[in-house]
Structure 1
Amino acid sequence: MLHEIKKVEHIGGYKLKLYFRNGKIKIFDMEDRLRTAKNMFLPLKDVDFFSKVKCEDGTIVWPNGVDLCPEMLFKCSKDIPKERRKRSSSPASKRKSKNRSKKLFFK
């Protein structure tokens, strides 16, 4: 496979965060594709079921056996800018979010 996936995260709705072996991190949104879903893709319309996606053999798969071609996922997903990735994983941004949640909790 040209574009293997090493990790997948459900990030809400029908969006997935895909981590490719080449270091790219992309967002794939399936909402439009699921509007006309048929057959084995029908269960994916249920967000709870959709969230059960796993990474297996370099691609993503759901409990009912539906899997998607990693090359298609790479081509049809959107890049996450590097500066945005760095910002969200920096210790300072983590501290800010922790402080914010404490303030909200103790008010």
Structure 2
Amino acid sequence: MSKRYDWDLIERLLHHVQNSVAIEDASETHAAELRALLLERGFIAAHTSGAGGSGEGATLTANGASLLAMIDSSIPGNDHPRQVLDEQADALDPATFDEVASKAQIA
């Protein structure tokens, strides 16, 4: 059985990290859990000391930027990559994501 993720929330989190904006909404707890997962799995990276801003001290990694490009709702046809990601046992597993993202028809 595949693990399903809230791609809309992940997209918002990645946009917020990209734009250095803190996320504030009713799903803050779930967002914090997803943010921790994205950090742990290398989709976002914590700033080193001295970095400022309100983006909770993180930046997108290359994989984070790739994931954002795949699931970005402003891009027509983003449903297909989300569907392919949902079909994986765990789409945010780094090795699984690298394999899926390397397929030209997905990325």
Establish whether TM, by shorter chain, passes 0.5. Answer: no
TM-score, normalization by structure 1: 0.26
Indicate the structure with greater strand content.
Answer: 1
TM-score by length of 2: 0.26
Structure with greater helix share of residues = 2
Of structures 1 and 2, the larger Rg is shown by: 1
